[in-house]
A and B are shown apart, each in its own frame.
Chain A
Amino acid sequence: MQLDAKVPGGILAEKWDRHRFDLGLISPANRKKFDIIVVGTGLAGSSASATLAELGYNVKAFCLQDSPRRAHSIAAQGGINAAKNYANDGDSIWRLFYDTIKGGDFRSREANVYRLAQLSNNIIDHCVAQGIPFARDYGGLLANRSFGGAQVSRTFYARGQTGQQLLVGAFSALMRQVAAGKVTLFSRREMMELVVINGQARGIVARNMITGEIETHAADAVILATGGYGNVFFLSTNAMTSNVTAILRAYKKGAFFTNPCFIQIHPTCIPVHGTYQSKLTLMSESLRNDGRVWVPRNSGDTRSPHQIPESDRDYFLENKYPAFGNLVPRDVASRNAKEQCDMGKGVGETGLAVYLDFEDAIKRDGKEEISKKYGNLFQMYEKITGDNPYETPMMIYPAVHYTMGGLWVDYNLMTTVPGLFAIGEANFSDHGANRLGASALMQGLADGYFIIPYTIGEYFAGTGLNKITDEHPAFKAAVQEVNSRINKLLSIKGTRTVDDFHRELGRVLWEYCGMARNEKGLLKAQKLIQQLREEFWKNVIVPGSERDFNQSLEKAGRVADYLEFGELMIVDALARRESCGCHFNEAYQTEENEAKRDDENFCHVAAWEYAGDGINPLFHKEKLIFENVELTQRSYR
């Protein structure tokens, strides 16, 4: 199958405008004839559901939390980018586009990224109109700050809770449509299967997480806004229920999975401190605006940070990258922290941490000013670690945070299954091999508020859709599949818990498919994962019953999918014989130990097609064509 991204022709800056004119329309009176399922209620899902309902479509929105407002977009701290140039520092749509393409190490689609930069400004306007209390200056105008990978201040923020505020805004818009009767809300539901009829996505099978009932829902199109799969590593900054299940089901029903090995490892997280640990907590990248990253100059220096004089400190990011300093992109910052720890210069009990120090910032701006900017983050840090960052430097270490990979989508955000769309972190579209800070919120909202509402009309206008109900045999078959999987999980009654398997899977991936990879390690990991998966299906213990509120069963289903998916990540990592952004294959590096791309052979996105259980997936590629930017070696020095 030839992948057609359907990128419109013409000048880059005019593509989206022209495309919108070319898109088919559904008239207001006819929109109520179409039912749309939206799975997930994070920024992408909530904004899409609300906007589609405002347009007049019938929306069914699904989430696995008790309320849509709890989706994990809520945890985003730092901010959202927009090319407003309010700071008058030379920003523009073109610069945001260029920074994003370059930050992603030239592995994303030009036209998509340019559109994202264009829409960034509309997002800020809309969010302010919704009442989102962004930070402001004394004159009453909006304030901005800087983020990694950029030399301008273009990040809008709401204390350290930008994700929460944006999500509450989208959630409120969604609730307004629920009240208007245009959205039917299904909370505490987990999508278990995608239903494809005549090659078109026509519905889902969901499990009611309170009663355990298996439900069927038919529609004219299905939108997956189910987020990323970072939890495959067990320890990540994702929420506990974040999963790959929904998009993996879609993959197994014909949607291609793209760049699964592109995992963002965020440099500033609270270090791991015990085997019982259930998750890692991010400390916003915005802290790198004022905090200085350092380690002792000499390995084995165990003095407390206050006793280490300036001359014995190594501010390794500032020294190595004078132009961007502490604000280099995430992949670069993470890799350098790892490098320092590998040299034995790490700090803390485990030696797997570096300092993020605010002493100079507090001296310069005063404690009050720093507290205004980062107060809640400092508080959170103290709660978790028991250390006060106003007095002693924070300790941080990289952790899995975001997944750039996801379902392949064309310019209209449609997957390779007609009628199945993927938005937000669930798709692969805009961040290439590394996402810049404050760009996830931007992409989620651009997809949901401003792209899918137009492009879905094109699908409806150009497609013959028979009337289908959930009485169709395809639904019955899907329900059967779901039931048999659940029964299998409950009947194994082995001796190892789900968490135990999950933890081991995470360890394998972190070791061999984490910040640095090599072929030998990847091959080893592949074997280990296959063995683990085999053992899981023979020896897992899942207590309780099927028709019940059964959190163990939920977890078991997700981990089963992660075990299957983990191997796909390895396959992808093995196939990409270059380094780019987050994907650092030790065999391909520059003399300065930076990621070395191979544009001749790998300037493409890898799209994997499911070929059956135990069979290697089929490889497809979409060649990336750069007409407007020159491919260069990323340099932040």
Chain B
Amino acid sequence: MTKTINLKLKVWRQKDSDDKGGFKTYYSRDISTDMSFLEMIDVINEQLTLNGEDPIAFDHDCREGICGMCGAMVNGRAHGPEKGTTLCQLHMRHFSDEDTIVVEPWRARAFNIIKDLVADRSALDKIIQAGGYISVNTGGAPDANTILISRDTSEKAFDGAACIGCGACVAACPNASAMLFVGAKVSHLALLPQGKPEAARRVMAMVREMDRLCFGNCTNEAECEAVCPKEISITNIARLNREFLKAGFFSSTK
């Protein structure tokens, strides 16, 4: 049932990456419970604009939970309280009247704050650049059905490929580790026959790049799995470790 609620928000405001930043309190009245969390911020921003104040900057684009652009810590949880949900798909029916909600940006050594709730996640792209692909040029691919892949393998690879690169796993991890992100990509490609020829090279290069960019190590906190909007399992981290060891011990890749 649609109803309206009143909320108190404590939102992180930071002018730019050099600014120290701090929390600011806003009151949001008559919020329909059918609204999404971002629509609730839209309403606040409309008011701020009319008052001549600077609206809250936040990243968002598709607003249907697939582009991975949005994300913030809501009461200390990446993407908020709902399991398997991006911030844009979090609806206000999961909050109660007179709640206080604390909203902060992703925080990690590898992510700089650009403004307010906007973080720079380009480090994730750099990890992909290091090897998160299959080296195939456009052109000479064989007929698609010449490669047989069991449904089970294909589904497992898909579970890794479902990653939307939002960075919630990094933000939730006490070590700001990107192991779930890297594990998902390595698993996706290592499981498929097409990805096997360069599996060793790929895992070594991606792990090395991850370390270089100052992402932390994995200490099995499993916070990443808990907040992942695509519910990617930490078994992908285990697979990453196996692939890494396999490459280190049994391949000529350095």
A561 to B150, CA, bound (A): 50
- Decide yes or no: A551 and B57 within 8 Å by CB, A126-B141, A133-B154 being known contacts: yes
A138 near B133 (CB under 8 angstroms)?
no
Q: What are 21 pairs between A and B in contact, CB < 8 Å?
A: A65-B61, A67-B124, A69-B68, A84-B145, A129-B194, A131-B157, A131-B188, A133-B192, A140-B149, A140-B151, A142-B144, A159-B158, A164-B162, A165-B158, A172-B134, A274-B32, A278-B42, A380-B89, A383-B65, A384-B36, A386-B93
Q: Indicate if A29 sits at the interface (CB-CB under 8 A).
A: no
> Which residues of B are found within 8 Å of A171, using beta-carbon distances?
128
Within 8 A of B (CB), among A110-134: 122, 124-134
Query: Which of B125, B139, B158 lies in contact with A175, CB distance below 8 A?
Result: B125
Is B107 part of the contact surface with A, judged by Cβ < 8 Å?
Answer: no
B67 contacts A74, C-beta separation under 8 Å: yes
Tell yes or no: B38 within 8 A of A by CB: yes
Known: A127-B144, A137-B151. 11 other contacts (CB 8 A): A67-B121, A70-B61, A74-B62, A75-B66, A125-B142, A128-B141, A129-B134, A129-B194, A176-B129, A276-B35, A278-B63
- A-contact 0/1 string along B146-180, CB 8 Å cutoff: 01111100110110011011000000000000000
Quick one: which of A139, A384, A495 has the most chain B CB within 10 A? A384
| Contact in complex: A173, B133 (CB < 8 Å) | yes
B223 at the interface (CB under 8 A from A): no
Q: Given A72-B67, A210-B114, A131–B145 Cβ distance below 8 Å?
A: no
Q: How far is it, in angstroms, between the C-alpha of A178 and the C-alpha of B43 when the chains are bound?
A: 39
CB <8 Å contact, B67 and A65? yes
Q: Which residues of A contact B32 (CB under 8 A)?
A: 274, 276
Q: Does A291 contact B (CB under 8 A)?
A: no
Whether B130 is near chain A, meaning CB under 8 Å from some CB there, is yes
A122 → chain B, closest Cβ, in Å?
Answer: 8
> Is the C-beta of A620 less than 8 angstroms from some C-beta in chain B?
no
8 residue pairs, one from A and one from B, having the closest CB atoms:
A140-B148, A172-B133, A129-B141, A125-B141, A128-B144, A133-B158, A179-B129, A70-B67
Q: Is the CB of B188 within 8 A of A141?
A: no
| A-side contacts of B120, CB under 8 Å | 66
Please choose the segment from A247-255, A416-424, A541-549, A625-633 that sits at the chain B interface, where 4 or more of its residues have CB less than 8 A away: A541-549
Give me the interface of B with A, judged by CB distance under 8 Å: 2, 16, 32, 34-36, 38-39, 42-43, 46, 48-50, 52-55, 57, 59-69, 82, 84-85, 89, 91, 93, 114-115, 118, 120-122, 124-125, 128-130, 132-139, 141-145, 147-151, 154-155, 157-158, 161-162, 164-165, 188-189, 192, 194-195
A547 to B227, CA, bound (A): 35
Q: Tell which of A66, A137, A175, A278 touches B39, judged by Cβ atoms closer than 8 Å.
A: A278
Contact present for B194 and A130 (CB under 8 Å): yes
CA A386 – CA B34 in complex, angstroms?
Answer: 9
- Considering only CB atoms, which chain B residue lies closest to A158 in the complex? B158
Tell me whether A383 and B128 are in contact (CB under 8 A). no
With A128-B144, A239-B63, A239-B67 known to touch, is A164 a contact of B134 (CB < 8 Å)?
no
B-facing mask of A271-286, CB < 8 A → 1, else 0? 0011011110110000
Residues A241 and B50 in contact, CB atoms below 8 Å apart:
no
Nearest B residue (CB) for A51: B138
* A276 contacts B147, C-beta separation under 8 Å: no
Q: How far is the CA of A384 from the CA of B35 in the complex (A)?
A: 9
- A276 neighbours in B (Cβ, 8 Å): 32, 35, 39, 42-43
* Complex alpha-carbon distance, A384 and B33, angstroms: 11
Q: Which residues does chain B contribute within 8 Å of A544, judged by CB atoms?
A: 54-55
| A500 CA / B62 CA spacing, docked (Å) | 20
Q: Is A453 an interface residue (CB 8 A)?
A: yes
Q: Of A161, A179, A273, which is in contact with the most chain B CB atoms at under 10 Å from its CB?
A: A179
Is the CB–CB distance between B154 and A54 below 8 Å? no
- Per the bound structure, the CA–CA distance linking A369 and B35 in Å amounts to 32
Does residue A518 face the partner (Cβ distance < 8 Å to B)? Answer: no
Taking the closest CB of chain A, its distance from the CB of B145, in whole angstroms, is: 5
In the complex, what residues of A have CB within 8 A of residue B65's CB? 380, 383
B67 adjacent to A543 (CB under 8 Å): no
The listed residue (B35, B48, B122, B155) touching A187 by CB distance below 8 A is: B122
Residue A50 is within 8 A (CB to CB) of chain B in the complex: yes
Contacts of B149 in A (CB 8 A): 136, 140
Within 8 A of B (CB), among A570-622: none
Q: Are A54 and B137 in contact (CB under 8 A)?
A: yes
Asked whether any CB of chain B lies closer than 8 Å to the CB of A94, the reply is no
Give A68 to B68 CA distance when docked, in angstroms.
11
User: Which residues of chain A from 458 to 483 have any CB-CB distance to chain B below 8 Å in the complex?
Assistant: none
Out of A68, A128, A159, A549, name the residue touching B147 (CB < 8 Å).
Answer: A128
B144 contact set on A, CB distance < 8 A: 84, 124-125, 127-128, 134, 142
Contact B130 A179 (CB under 8 A): yes
B138–A449 touching, CB < 8 Å: yes
Q: How far is the CA of A282 from the CA of B64 in the complex (A)?
A: 9
